[in-house]
Structure formats: structure tokens, C-alpha cells
Structure 1
Amino acid sequence: MLKNVFVSSALTISTLSIGINSLVLKPSRAVELTDGRRAFESSLNLTRAAANFNSRNNSAARYQFTIEVPEDAGEALKSVKITQKENSDTVIFKTDKSKASLGSSLSGDNIPLAAVGGESQPGETTVVFDTPVEPGNTVTISVKPKQNPSVDGVYLFGIAAYPNGENSPGLYLGSGRIHITE
């Protein structure tokens, strides 16, 4: 009787292992909406927001935003929109100074940008990758303000990610915080 329980348990574990491996090996697919647009299957993660210089009015400052595109995202990351939340001072981005690289810092492989700016307004910019960032990768985007705000405080930047495809809905990832000091 005990021997049969062991064999039965071994078969169950073996079956579960095969089932799990089958799930892991299947490629993930993006969500297709009823109107044909595509959306991410799983949320991307805003993991870091930082400024290299935090002092007021500093014209050498760069803001970096790091985003993880998980394996199960189902769709590649095509563009990112950065929008400053209302505050006492508004940042104006120098779109020609934006860059991106693979990894959690700018020391990774450079990612060419197809466009930067779009229909930008003060406090807003959109970065479009020439080649979309595939699931399983991390990307760091660096944007350059004309200068840091003249008023110290915490500045919030809403980050929205967009998958490959026409008029695809964005996915709001949250707000990155940049602290400006005296």
C-alpha cells in the first residue's frame, strides 16, 4: 500500500513538473483589445527616478528613470511619456539631449531613439525607441531639463509606458520623485 502511495505521488509530481515546464516555455502574447489595439499583458515597473544634480537652477542636471519590462509583459516597450505633476515651478525639457540605454544605468548598451518630444508641453516629454525594448529587459531613460526648478521641493513626474502598435493605450507606472534642494 505504501509503495502505491509513493508511486502515485511521484507520478503527480512528475505531471506537475511537466505542466509547469509547459507553462514556462509558452511564449507570452499581448492583450488584443476589441478595436485591434494591443496592451501590455503584465505591468512594467518604474524602479528608479534620480537626478545627477539636485540644486536649484542647475543647468547641468539630468533626470533618469529606470523601467523594468518583465518577461511576461507580452509586448515590447515602444515609448515612454514623462509628465510633471503640477508644482510651483515647471521643468522645460531639452528634447535633443535625451538618451536611453539597456540596464539600470546609462552605462549599458545605447538604445537609439526614433523621436523625442512629440506634442510636448512644458513639463512633458515623450521618448520613442527606434527599436522597442523587448520583454525581459530593463531600460534607463535620461532626459535633460533646461535647468532645475528655481523652487526647492519634491517634484513628481508621472511615467506612462506604451507598447508597440498604433494608438495603443498607455500603462501608468507611477510617479518618479526628484528632490530639488538649495
Structure 2
Amino acid sequence: MSHLITKIPWTTGKKIGLVTSTLALSLLIPNLSTTVNAFEVGENETVFLAAPRLTRAATTNLSPNGPSIYHFTIEVPENADEALQAITVSQRDNPVYINFALDKSNAFMGDSFAGGPNLALADIGGDLSVNPNDITVVFDEPVQPGETVTVRLRAKRNPARGGIYLFGVTAFPEGENSSGLYIGSKSLQFYSY
């Protein structure tokens, strides 16, 4: 092979190397523009293939021990083909775990602190006896493809210990036996004074 390349002018050899590298990368890297849809998998189980996106996590107060509301914003892409029925927010190995006033938590359509139309919740909490650091929010009416929802979890108080606190979000499509799809993590940083 090296004998063949020495007979090819130097600029042509670079082009061959570039073509070979591009071909190799195209085989190794999946096509990121592939459109995927939700589908049923045995026993009427519905799953997302086009994931909703966790676009923002924010808080109304960064002070230690103060009251605060944590915002988690999720966009359901138009090509999702399934509505978003529920999400689970999980605290991930935080220095201390934050307790929430679930009866004062809610959701609204849109993505700003000003809020939008309220979205009724069918349930909030989940099985706290199994994992008290996971909060499941079930929407009364599913969030349709092309829409954005913000879930507001009211903290009883911010942590006294400053640091970066990580929250993971899992999305569940509409359906009786829907599988959750982990859609990402966002962090909130609190300060100690």
C-alpha cells in the first residue's frame, strides 16, 4: 500500500486519506439527523424514540436555608408522536438531599419564570417509600408534541450546605405500560455564606 501511495502525487494521497477517514467516521458515528418515533413494544408498551428535551433547570433563590422553587423545563418535540404523561425528577448523589413541599408544587405550559397556563396534575410524589429522592409528576392531560412544560417543585428550604446539586429527569410517554426514558441532568449551584 505504501508503494502505491508513493506513486500518487502528494496532494492526491491527502485526498484519499481524507476520503478514507470520512468514510470510517461515517460508519462509526450514528446519523444524528435520523427521525425516530414512538412505537409499541409487546404488551402495549409505548416508548419514546424521539426524546423530549430537558432544556432548563433553575431556582428562584440561591441562598442557604431559604425557601425556593425549582423549575424543570421539558420540550416535547413535534416528531415525538407520543404525548408526555409524566416525569420523574431524581436527586443524584447530592451533598444533602432536598425535601419538597409536594402539595405546593405545580406545573404550567411554557418555559419562563412568568409562567403560562397552569397544567393540572393527576398525581405528584411517586413511591417515596422505595426512593424518597425521586419525585414523580403525572399530568392530568398529557403534554402534546410541540409543547413545552415547566414543573415547579417547591423546596421546604434550600440546603444549608453550598455546592452543586444534580437532578436527573426521566420522561414517560402516554400509555398504560410506558417505559421511562432518561432525558438528562441539570445542576443547580447553591452558595453558603
| TM-score category, normalised to shorter length | 0.7 to 0.9
- Structure 1: which amino acid aligns with 2:87? V
Q: Which of 59, 72, 80 is the equivalent residue of 1:73? A: 80
Determine whether 1:41 maps to 2:38: no
Counterpart position of 1:50: 58
- Please list the CA deviations of residues 151-181 of structure 1 after superposition, one character each: whole Å capped at 9, or x if unmatched: 1000001100101112311111111211111
C-alpha contact 1:78 1:163 (8 A) present in aligned 2:
yes
C-alpha contact 2:90 2:167 (8 A) present in aligned 1:
yes
C-alpha contact 1:41 1:72 (8 A) present in aligned 2:
no
- Please list the CA deviations of residues 111-138 of structure 1 after superposition, one character each: whole Å capped at 9, or x if unmatched: 0011100212433211110000000001
C-alpha contact 1:41 1:75 (8 A) present in aligned 2:
no
C-alpha contact 2:126 2:134 (8 A) present in aligned 1:
no
Q: How many residues align?
A: 154
Unmatched tracts of structure 1, length 5 or more: 1-27
Question: 1: CA distance between counterparts of 2:142 and 2:126?
Answer: 17
C-alpha contact 2:53 2:74 (8 A) present in aligned 1:
yes
DSSP-derived class of the 1:75 partner: coil
- Please list the CA deviations of residues 21-73 of structure 1 after superposition, one character each: whole Å capped at 9, or x if unmatched: xxxxxxx9631112320012311111000010011111x20100000000011
Q: Which of 106, 117, 132 is the equivalent residue of 2:125? A: 117
Q: Which has the larger radius of gyration?
A: 2
Counterpart position of 1:95: 102
Q: TM-score, normalised by structure 1?
A: 0.80
Question: 1: CA distance between counterparts of 2:62 and 2:165?
Answer: 11
Determine whether 1:154 maps to 2:164: yes
C-alpha contact 1:41 1:74 (8 A) present in aligned 2:
no
DSSP-derived class of the 1:144 partner: strand
CA displacement at 1:88 relative to structure 2: 1.8
CA RMSD of aligned residues (A): 1.4
Q: Which of 138, 144, 152 is the equivalent residue of 2:154? A: 144
Question: 2: CA distance between counterparts of 1:29 and 1:54?
Answer: 39
**Matched residues, percent identical?**
45
DSSP-derived class of the 1:87 partner: coil
Counterpart position of 1:85: 92
Unmatched tracts of structure 2, length 5 or more: 1-35
Q: TM-score, normalised by structure 2?
A: 0.76
Relative distance call for 1:142 and 1:158 in structure 2 (3 A) is: same
C-alpha contact 1:93 1:122 (8 A) present in aligned 2:
no
Question: 2: CA distance between counterparts of 1:180 and 1:124?
Answer: 20
- Please list the CA deviations of residues 100-120 of structure 1 after superposition, one character each: whole Å capped at 9, or x if unmatched: 111112521110011100212
Counterpart position of 1:22: none
